Amino acid sequence: MNARGIREHFLARCDWVEEAGTVDRVIAGDPGREAKSAVVTWIASFDACRQAARKKADLLVTHEPTFWKHANEMEQVERDAFAREKLRFIEEAGLTILRIHDSWDRFPDIGIPFAWAEFLGLQGPPARVGPSRYQHRYDIEPVKAGEFARRVAERTAGIGEPMVQFIGDAGKIVSRIGIGTGCCCSPLVYEEMGCDLYVVCDDGSSYWRYIQRSVDAGAPVVRVHHGTSEEPGMVTLARYLSGQFPGVRFEHLPHRPCYVAVGKDA
């Protein structure tokens, strides 16, 4: 099995992905090289590439970009000396980088949004799905917004984010929870879906614009790191790949937020 074959596996099963335009492709390395061991991680950071090389992996499967650009990543290599240095390392390590993004973002039941919902303890199929298919609403027993935020933090603590941001009235009773991941967590879409609490990500929301509007309109917001929201989906991706391609050893490489909270006494 090789990166090309794995990519074709997803394209054959994900009819919402357009082969010509998708970012799901081999980013670096030899698409036809046989893979016996692989690392699965949220983003192909330089550290993740180094860890994969130390593990002598043939393949690194990443959800997010290797060269800090959502599409046409190799354009970055052409104009960025550090990107060329990173590519040189990847090539010398004999790594192939395969990106699986568009297909896994909507993969039924176990893809990114479904894995995030299950991780948060939101059970069953979503009550509503947004027009893009990336934002979901789950209806739960009424709870204070601040208490729901604490529940989120209790769970995300186990994957590196012990504190989440909460904006709004902690005492407001909520029961229609909007969740999204990455850049697909628009408060305006949550509003249209009838949600009364919005879970958003740092890469997909801005305070002065949408979050402030949401809070002004009475909808509390819980904000987490982009990678935190998608880390449960990386666990399910590694598990799925292991089941589909038993000839390859897939290892999940955990991602943790790249920042720490620093106070005046730290």
Q: Are residues 173 and 245 in the same domain?
A: no
Q: What is the pLDDT of residue 261?
A: 83
Give the Å distances, CA to CA, from 257 to 40, 81, 156, 159, 245: 16, 26, 11, 9, 29
State the pLDDT confidence band at 236, using cuts at 50, 70 and 90: very high
Per DSSP, the three-state class of 179 is strand
Q: Are residues 133 and 178 in the same domain?
A: yes
State the pLDDT confidence band at 262, using cuts at 50, 70 and 90: confident
- Residue 163 counted as domain residue: yes
What average pLDDT score do residues 135-146 get?
98
Q: Are residues 100 and 34 in the same domain?
A: yes
Percentage of the chain lying above the pLDDT 70 cut: 100
Q: Are residues 157 and 189 in the same domain?
A: yes
Q: How many domains would you assign to the chain?
A: 2
- Residue 266 counted as domain residue: no
Instruction: Enumerate residues 6+ apart whose C-beta is below 8 A from 200.
Output: 180, 185, 187, 211, 221, 222, 223, 224
CATH number at residue 62: 3.40.1390.30
State the pLDDT confidence band at 174, using cuts at 50, 70 and 90: very high
Q: What is the pLDDT of residue 264?
A: 86
What average pLDDT score do residues 33-45 get?
98
Q: Are residues 21 and 76 in the same domain?
A: yes
| Cα angle: 187, vertex 190, 192; to 5 degrees | 115
Give the Å distances, CA to CA, from 245 to 15, 62, 108, 203: 21, 17, 19, 32
Q: Which residue has the higher pLDDT, 258 or 20?
A: 20
What average pLDDT score do residues 221-245 get?
98
Q: Are residues 81 and 164 in the same domain?
A: no
- Residue 128 counted as domain residue: yes
- Residue 114 counted as domain residue: no
Q: Which tokens hold the place of 95?
A: 């790594």
- Residue 53 counted as domain residue: yes
What average pLDDT score do residues 26-47 get?
97
Q: Are residues 99 and 86 in the same domain?
A: yes
Q: Which domain holds residue 161?
A: 124-224
Q: What is the pLDDT of residue 259?
A: 85
Q: What is the pLDDT of residue 45?
A: 97
- Residue 168 counted as domain residue: yes
State the pLDDT confidence band at 266, using cuts at 50, 70 and 90: low
What average pLDDT score do residues 14-43 get?
97
Q: Are 117 and 136 in contact (CB under 8 A)?
A: yes
- Residue 116 counted as domain residue: no
Residues in the chain: 266
Q: Are residues 88 and 20 in the same domain?
A: yes
- Residue 257 counted as domain residue: no
Q: Are residues 162 and 245 in the same domain?
A: no
Q: Are residues 92 and 131 in the same domain?
A: no
Q: Are residues 220 and 235 in the same domain?
A: no
Q: Write down the mean pLDDT value for the chain.
A: 96
Percentage of the chain lying above the pLDDT 90 cut: 92
Q: What is the pLDDT of residue 204?
A: 87
Q: Are residues 210 and 246 in the same domain?
A: no
